[in-house]
């Protein structure tokens, strides 16, 4: 059985090849992302494609995959906003994902970004390397006693709460789907109340049509002046243009993002020798109170190991007529 990987990097080959020893699938790794430009290169008889966050599985792409005999789309990530699930169902293609790969990896990165940006660790590191030990410009604030608003209380959001609780923070949360009774020491509230009360807001929700750009000029205006926002979920949760305006006015005091709404043209690539035409990301990175990482929150040994193990297990189950728990389209 052949599985074609798109958006593949050396670490994907390393972890998937190791776990494939238990299955002996035929694995093919392609660096290009999957989209209309490359889908016709998929060879007839390919049983499964394995994709990542910036692959685009539109109805057009899925119809071509189905015509070539693809039966499984395996997402090696938790998010699924880049797949037309209805088209996959109509084409008779199973879609599976990895909904719970080391949630601590993403939660810990969110906290690391918060601490780095607040206490100017990245700036201090560069200063000291140049023998500059001055403290001017490095002033931060205590996390202890602050109110942190968590939007999205899945496994990652809960892991984030467990960490920041240790700092002595008050935690308020919004999630219309979570069972508040099962999550102790967290006060569930409305989105409006969370925006109004929070000193820090951390996003841990999936991207859906309903919450696209829900961090925008209107919702930012409801937040405290000087609010800190952390996003390790999906870039399009934030309207970047509105965030830039709020940074310019000072309404957003700090912004940490590991995701960006136009990241498919940038992230996971070395562009250090190229001119980047994206003016919004360039403007964001020009702010001293903005910290950007390139979608690396998931990037730990434990997470990559779990992603590979879960993905290949799901493909094996589906290929043998069984339906694993992480299937989205049966």
Active site residues per annotation: 234, 263, 295
3-state secondary structure (DSSP) of residue 270: coil
Q: Is 315 helix (H, G, I), strand (E, B) or coil?
A: helix
Helix (H) or strand (E) holding 149: strand 147-151
Nearest to 201 by CA among 180, 183, 219: 219
Query: Per residue in 284-311, is it b (16+ CB within 10 Å) or e — as a string?
Result: beebebbbbbebebbebeebbebbbbbb
Q: How big is the CA angle at 5 (ends 74 and 11), to the nearest 5 degrees?
A: 105
Centroid of chain to Cα 41: 28
CB 102 within 8 Å of CB 307: no
Q: Find, among 209, 258, 216, 217, the residue nearest to 235 by Cα.
A: 258
């Amino acid at each position: 059985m052949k599985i074609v990987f798109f958006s593949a990097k050396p670490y994907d080959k390393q972890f998937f090849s190791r776990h494939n020893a238990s299955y002996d699938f035929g694995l093919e790794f392609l660096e290009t992302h999957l989209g209309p430009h490359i889908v016709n290169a998929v060879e007839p008889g390919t049983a499964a494609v394995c994709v990542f966050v910036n692959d685009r599985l539109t109805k057009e792409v899925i119809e071509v995959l189905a015509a070539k005999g693809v039966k499984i789309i395996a997402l090696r990530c938790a998010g699924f906003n880049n797949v037309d699930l209805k088209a996959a169902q109509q084409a008779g293609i199973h879609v599976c994902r990895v909904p719970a790969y080391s949630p601590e990896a993403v939660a810990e990165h969110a906290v690391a970004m918060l601490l780095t940006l607040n206490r100017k660790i990245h700036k201090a590191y560069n200063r000291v390397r140049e023998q500059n030990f001055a403290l001017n410009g490095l002033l931060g604030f205590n996390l202890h006693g602050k109110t942190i608003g968590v939007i999205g209380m899945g496994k990652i959001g809960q892991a984030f709460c467990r960490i920041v609780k240790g700092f002595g923070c008050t935690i308020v949360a919004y999630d219309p789907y979570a069972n508040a009774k099962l999550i102790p020491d967290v006060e569930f509230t409305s989105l409006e109340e969370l925006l109004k009360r929070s000193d820090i807001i951390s996003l841990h929700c999936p991207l859906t049509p309903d919450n696209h750009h829900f961090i925008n000029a209107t919702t930012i205006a409801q937040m405290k002046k000087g609010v800190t926002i952390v996003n390790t979920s999906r870039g399009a949760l934030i309207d970047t243009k509105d965030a830039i305006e709020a940074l310019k006015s000072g309404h957003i005091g700090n912004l940490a993002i590991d995701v960006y709404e136009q990241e498919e043209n940038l992230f996971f690539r070395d562009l250090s020798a190229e001119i980047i035409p994206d003016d919004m990301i360039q403007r964001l990175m020009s702010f001293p109170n903005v910290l950007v990482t390139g979608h690396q929150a998931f990037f730990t040994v434990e997470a990559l190991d779990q992603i590979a193990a879960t993905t290949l297990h799901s493909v094996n189950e589906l290929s043998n007529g069984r339906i694993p728990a992480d299937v989205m389209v049966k």
